[in-house]
Amino acid sequence: MDKPVAHLGGKTLRDVALAEIAATDWGNQAGSNRINAMVGDRPDWLISRQRAWGVPLAMFVHKQTNQILIDEAVNARILSAMHEKGADAWFLSDAKTFLGDAHNPDDYEMVQDILDVWFDSGCTHAFVTRQRYGADTQADLYLEGSDQHRGWFQSSLLQSCASRGQAPYKAVRTHGMIVDDKGRKMSKSLGNGVELDDVLKTHGMEILRLVYASADYASELAMSKVILDQAGETYRKLRNTIRYMLASLKDFDASTETVEYAQMPLLERWLLGRAHEISLEVQLAWRDYDFKRALSAVVDFANLDLSAFYVDVRKDALYCDAPDSLRRRANRTALDLLFGRMLRWLAPFLPFTTEEAWSTRYPDTASIHLQVLHDDPAQWADSEIASRMAALRDLRRVVTGALEVQRRDKVIGSSLEAAPLVYIANEHIRDAIGDEDLAELFITSGVSLRNGDGPEGAFRLEDVAGVAVEFQRASGIKCARSWKFFDPPLHWRAFPI
């Protein structure tokens, strides 16, 4: 470990290994520190073992000089025998078979020792990576349990550094073990084991994937019915979101319906901007092997930005607007652009569901798992739109909070029964409003705006300064289609049915 080696530029194996540890991505400092300490303190490696089975050292030692026999012809015969009969050919053959006529078998000891099994496992880089991809190729990732810092990770590192002066891997990650919801190791005696066959029958493979994709795989991985049920609820919401998008895009014709980005309403441009942010976040997380972060970003976007906000605001436009209206076409254009991106984000986690959704919409195209996640148009990254919508969503939260009080007190059953009076002293929020339809944003039948702080009894949220809301009931009659209340004009005739 500490002798200078000529083909390593005069450096010691320990020095080369420690330098390669520093150049490797370990995911966290703890993993790097652990193997660094182990390699820094380890003694020389005795790679032979006296065992009845294993991979033979396959060498001859001269009985008088104790020198190892180095002969290409002998080595060629050993290799040929192992290719034909496997490693046991060494134990099943006599010395004469390999030494031939050039050496006297009585002068040599045919060593029966085997290689340390860690040496066996550590040389996988030589006969897997190097043979398939070239001598200088490093594996992108080695993955095993954290105990392998003293095992496979280390034996692979030392062998590769000794033979070619570099680590066999670019990155290393460790995983935890499965435990129950109390953090206890699963065992028959505790009766806390979970059979995977039972999980697959009751929940299915997709939900099982979500359980582990949602967890920090470097730590112990908990498994219980509660955790499975939580993952099932996440799956149900994601599947419903995908179903909504499929239904909303039925018969969508991009050649006639597409709305260019510049002509889209603010809400659609914001949605595509959020999709761009999520796409960048997901790809960065994938690069770092941080699958929990990637999945969390997509789930939060689907639940909070898409379902709970965008779809909620735009559903009336989809149901009630004329098919050729700008708002409805922009809505479907945005969903069309988002659909493929969402499936690509989710494909590593939900391969069956995303394939089902993709083939439903595009039955004649290649699998979703063969689709490329392309870069988004640069114009989608618009910080001004993001800032405006953040202000408008804060405003919406205050209005929604005020209406929830009325709903709780049984004053109204639906937000469409309201036409709130909103006081705005917050200049940033006031500037963000522009010409946006706030009644649509709030899902109310109307809204009135006033400058100023508002009366003392108005509803407020502590984290949204300068906004106050007074409840007012919407006047007029209820539209049978949109359910909004409006004041009918003179000589009003009933709705046609």
Q: Rounded to an integer, what distance in angstroms lies between the CA atom of residue 407 and that of residue 263?
A: 37
Q: Identify the pLDDT of residue 355.
A: 98
The confidence band for 494, taking pLDDT boundaries of 50, 70 and 90, is: low
The DSSP 8-state label assigned to residue 150 in this structure reads: T
The domains of the chain are located at 6-47+119-175, 53-113, 228-380, 387-486
Q: Is 360 exposed, middle or buried (0-12, 13-18, 19+ CB in 10 A)?
A: exposed
Q: What pLDDT, in 10s, does the model give residues 201-213?
A: 888 999 999 998 9
Confidence band for 496, pLDDT divided at 50, 70 and 90? low
Write down the residue that tokens 């929990």 correspond to: 292
In the numeric block, which tokens belong to residue 99? 């030494």
Return the DSSP state at 459: B
At residue 495 the predicted structure's pLDDT band, cuts being 50, 70 and 90, is low
Query: What is the CATH topology of the domain spanning 228-380?
Result: Isoleucyl-tRNA Synthetase; Domain 1 (1.10.730)
List the CATH code of the domain at 387-486: 3.30.2320.20
Angle formed at CA 315 by CA 341 and CA 437, multiple of 5 degrees: 105
Q: Is the pTM higher than 0.85?
A: no
Element (H, E) at 108: strand 108-110
Task: Taking the CA atoms of 29, 31, 34 and 40 in sequence, report the sign of the dihedral they define.
Answer: negative
Q: What is the mean pLDDT of residues 314-334?
A: 94
Backbone angles phi, psi at 306, to 5 degrees: -85, -65
Question: Measuring CA to CA, which residue among 315, 267, 243, 265 is closest to residue 481?
Answer: 315
36 contacts 21 by C-beta, under 8 angstroms: yes
Q: How many CB atoms lie within 10 A of CB 179?
A: 17
**Contact, 308 vs 339, CB < 8 A?**
no
Q: Is the pLDDT of residue 306 over 90?
A: yes
Q: What is the DSSP string of 34-72?
A: HHHHHHHH------EE--SSS-B---EEETTT-PBP--H
d(CA 335, CA 322): 17
Q: Taking residues 277-282, report their average pLDDT.
A: 98
User: What pLDDT shows up at residue 302?
Assistant: 98
d(CA 30, CA 263): 51
pLDDT band at 263 (very low <50, low <70, confident <90, very high): very high
- Distance linking the first and last C-alpha atoms of the chain: 89
Per the listing, tokens 């498994």 go with 223
* Mean of the per-residue pLDDT values of the chain: 91
**pLDDT confidence bin for 129, thresholds 50/70/90:** confident
Write the DSSP string, 215-270: S-TTS-EE--HHHHHHHHHHHHHHHHHHHHHHHHTTT--HHHH---GGGS-HHHHH
